[in-house]
Structure 1
């Protein structure tokens, strides 16, 4: 596959992915596509699998590239020693591959209707309306939601099952907004540059900041609960 064909494979599941992003991941050593004699990149299905692994880890776990690189190395170590690179195959205009069923590698749904969001998160319709009113979940278009909305709605549903009320989450929303503003100040100088590599570094810095923030928040909550747990 060419870099454009790889981008077409990834875009449905990772809509923010760009050619600059793929080149950045290559420069960071996370994927190593072959090159034609004229210098064009050619990606295998193994390369595409690695890119999906990296992008999923960044999106769902906010892991920094250093950690993802270590995980890839561990995964590679578990593979059969001396395994040869897979043979490159032609990809049709719709992404079809000889001998590969259409269901294989099919991207997960990244755009959800309101009905899908309610079904998958476990929220009631009235509760989702209240959650939206507080700005915890925001539709990307009227009646349509992204993957982050599903994560938030699912987490809210779980908290409500433990006895919290939606109004208790106002403070969480306010804290997240303050933190977003603080992090935006840190990454804005890179994000404003016209250099694609600088913008890719800005996105990676943001993901690392989010991951560190999650670790800090979890540790602080654990420490605060020690008294209640008698530890």
Structure 2
């Protein structure tokens, strides 16, 4: 198991332990939406287990910080629900083989958020500038100065699809379908979403990811059923 993801085993009085405020100071530059309540929420879900001082204060080790960075990067860059992330980490903690869900980067790549500029994006994806502009125009990729791994994957896929004559403009319906799915999710979490506290917002985000995961299962099944008609 990567050392950076191991659960910490330091005693409360051990060296190099950080307060929750110090952890926030280290991680917020990468994850601006991170809050004290979000860290507590992750602890409640048993994804990270900081030690406690005799006075009850949380203390985080360097391993805890890397574990948090890994979790937050999976959420932000791959939209994985916490229950999936927790199972993966539980397997790693127990020394069991574990593979991240399809599309997620390996653990070694998630200790920091990778960002590339336009030229690097084109070079890695094999796409042309015109294709990227068309993808941005079709709302398949955001207009941005820098792009993450997910954007690289999407543009790479679009470059491959273009070889079969499928252009970004043909996929505008995907954006419309995504907005409809978001409407379903928003309706499902509506009552909880009205909570204004940070902990409530964290729970809404997690519930939304779990619903999105179930919708993805249904969508994938429908596509496979449709593909089955090619064999009949």
Question: Which of 90, 115, 122 is matched with 1:118 structurally?
Answer: 122
The range that moved more, 213-222 or 197-206, is 213-222
Structure-2 change in CA distance of 1:163 and 1:12 (3 Å): farther
Separation in 1, partners of 2:110, 2:172: 37
**1:8 maps to 2:10:** no
Name 2:39's counterpart in structure 1: 22
Q: TM-score, normalised by structure 1?
A: 0.75
Question: Which of 110, 115, 129 is matched with 2:133 structurally?
Answer: 129
Name 2:216's counterpart in structure 1: 214
Structure-2 change in CA distance of 1:15 and 1:112 (3 Å): farther
CA contact (8 A) 2:24 2:36 kept: yes
- What's the CA shift for 1:110? 4.6
Alignment map for 1:59-208 (pairs within 5 Å): 59-78=76-95, 107-140=111-144, 143-146=145-148, 148-208=150-210
Question: Which of 35, 41, 59 is matched with 2:58 structurally?
Answer: 41
Aligned length: 204
- What's the CA shift for 1:148? 4.7
Structure-2 change in CA distance of 1:21 and 1:155 (3 Å): farther
Cα offsets for 1:80-114 (capped at 9, x unmatched): xxxxxxxxxxxxxxxxxxxxxxxx99953454432
- What's the CA shift for 1:211? 1.5
Moved over 6 A (4+): none
- What's the CA shift for 1:165? 1.9
CA contact (8 A) 1:122 1:157 kept: yes
Q: TM-score, normalised by structure 2?
A: 0.75
Q: Which runs of 5+ in 1 are unaligned?
A: 80-103
Separation in 1, partners of 2:191, 2:146: 32
Q: Secondary structure at the match of 2:189?
A: helix
Separation in 2, partners of 1:105, 1:154: 18
